[in-house]
Amino acid sequence: MLFSSGAEFFLILFFLLFQWATRKYLPLAAQRLVLFIGNIIILSTIISLATIGIHVFISLLVFGALAVLARNRNKRGTVLATISILVLIVLFCLRNYPKAFGFESFQLGNSPELLIERLGISYILFRNIQSIVDALKGRLTAKNPIDYINFILFFPNFLAGPIDKFSNFQRHFTRPEGRLKNALFWPGVGRIVIGFLKKYAIIPLFSMYALSYEPFLEFMSPQVAILLSAVCYSAYIFLDFSGYSDIAIGTGYIMGIKTPENFDSPYLTTNIAAFWRKWHMTFSEFLRDLIFKPIVQLINKTGLKPYRNAVSIIGYFLTFFICGIWHGDTVNFVYWGLWHALGLAIFKIWSSTGSFKRLHGNGSTTKQLLVTLSGITLTFAFVTIGWLFFHYKGEDLTLVFETLFGMK
């Protein structure tokens, strides 16, 4: 993880100050080179140069496809986009799930070294697919291959997002130096400070209770210990993930690039659908636009269009099954994805009933406050139970639920 050691911190700090101080004097071509070299040097502290080289090679191939798609937004372009996306997905699956293809690991010959390391590869897949779709729809014009490589290798977003779009990255990076870019500097510093406080000041205060329920066993029953630990884990994963996003966004600001927001008070939402509009927002947008909507459109063509709720529910389960697989190669992540699909399905049915509309209709301030607080509490409880599937795996997960239901 970037920023996790003193050496990485000072290397990144030196680069940020150098890039900020020199970019107003350098032509755009030189700025591209500075960012390219900086990306490679910083990423080389967490992944091998061979892995970086493969990412650069794949990025150049995708850039070539983007250039072709810009001139062929027709059936031929659709075929090219489909093939390109399928190739990227197959490469991703080979790397992340080699055993499903009969391999022990994704290696080059008899080399003990992995051909490409796993770190950051999921987010690179999303950025490449998003770029291909945007080019096919005419929303993207890729002008410079170095810009695209820098977009893929952009070190603040490399490991855990936010998942930016190339059009946004390119617009901010190529924008002339001026008041708009300079105005991002101090907000960027502030975001970095907030991120560091979350990750390195607040989380250590309770992380031992979030990562294991055993420290609670001395004071309470196993059932209460598991539930209280789950609440701590909810806070832990939010602070850890949003803290890293704060650091990534703040770093981008200092470099003159306004990356999209990733979290917006997700634990204060009143239903599970709203939660997914506020949690890991760039990832949720990807799921909605590039997985859920195409699935729904495809199902509608089968004649099920009149059954809107049923179509949406099928879409939820397929989308979050894919979401679970993307998060990890163990079955607990599939359970976590399906748990959220179940929640979305229940909410979809409930929100279409007259009872829901009456409950959320006009009423006294006290009634609306109670409805809001009840929604927040139920949503947080549902998400927190889901984190049990996410955090525990195998026998540990089985033990947790056997203990909760009094089977142990």
Confidence of residue 113 (pLDDT cuts 50, 70, 90): very low
Higher-confidence position of 151 and 179 = 151
Write out the two tokens for 67: 């250039």
- CA 19/CA 255 separation, integer angstroms: 7
Please compute the mean of the pLDDT values over residues 298-325 and round it to a whole number.
93
- 239: CB partners within 8 A, 6+ apart: 198, 199, 202, 203
- CA 124/CA 119 separation, integer angstroms: 10
Q: Which residues of 93-130 are buried (b: 16+ CB within 10 A; e: fewer)?
A: bebbebeeeeeeebeeeeeeebbbbebbbbbbbbbbbb
SS3 114: strand
Contact 180, 222 (CB under 8 A): no
- CA 346/CA 358 separation, integer angstroms: 18
Write out the two tokens for 18: 């150098």
Confidence of residue 350 (pLDDT cuts 50, 70, 90): very high
Higher-confidence position of 63 and 101 = 63
Residue type, 21: A
Looking at mean pLDDT, say which of 63-77, 107-121, 234-248 comes out highest: 234-248
Higher-confidence position of 177 and 188 = 188
- Least confident stretch, 4-18, 40-54, 137-151, 374-388: 4-18
Contact 349, 389 (CB under 8 A): no
Report the chain's mean pLDDT, rounded to a whole number: 89
- CA 334/CA 346 separation, integer angstroms: 18
DSSP letter at 52 equals H
**pLDDT over 50 (residue 115):** no
Peptide bond into 204 cis (omega under 30): no
- Least confident stretch, 33-47, 64-78, 149-163: 64-78
**pLDDT over 70 (residue 104):** no
- CA 262/CA 95 separation, integer angstroms: 26
Provide the CB-side half-sphere exposure for 150 (13 A, CA).
Answer: 26
pLDDT value, residue 4: 65
Report the percentage of the chain scoring pLDDT > 90.
64
**pLDDT over 90 (residue 364):** no
**pLDDT over 50 (residue 114):** no
**pLDDT over 90 (residue 27):** yes
Confidence of residue 170 (pLDDT cuts 50, 70, 90): very high
**pLDDT over 80 (residue 332):** yes
Provide the CB-side half-sphere exposure for 302 (13 A, CA).
Answer: 11
pLDDT value, residue 401: 93
pLDDT value, residue 363: 72
pLDDT value, residue 2: 63
Helix axes 394-404, 331-351, angle to 10 degrees: 50
Higher-confidence position of 388 and 183 = 388
Report the percentage of the chain scoring pLDDT > 70.
93
Confidence of residue 100 (pLDDT cuts 50, 70, 90): low
**pLDDT over 50 (residue 28):** yes
For 255-278, where are the alpha helices, taking DSSP H only? 272-278
- 108: CB partners within 8 A, 6+ apart: 115
- Model confidence pLDDT, tens digit, residues 41-79: 999 988 888 889 989 999 999 999 998 888 888 888 889
DSSP bridge pairs for 114: 107
pLDDT value, residue 255: 93
Nearest to 274 by CA among 228, 322, 340, 336: 340
Confidence of residue 15 (pLDDT cuts 50, 70, 90): very high
- CA 341/CA 272 separation, integer angstroms: 10
pLDDT value, residue 116: 53
pTM higher than 0.85 for the full model? yes
Residue type, 132: I
Contact 138, 73 (CB under 8 A): yes
Higher-confidence position of 98 and 311 = 311
pLDDT value, residue 357: 79
Confidence of residue 102 (pLDDT cuts 50, 70, 90): low
- CA 370/CA 389 separation, integer angstroms: 29
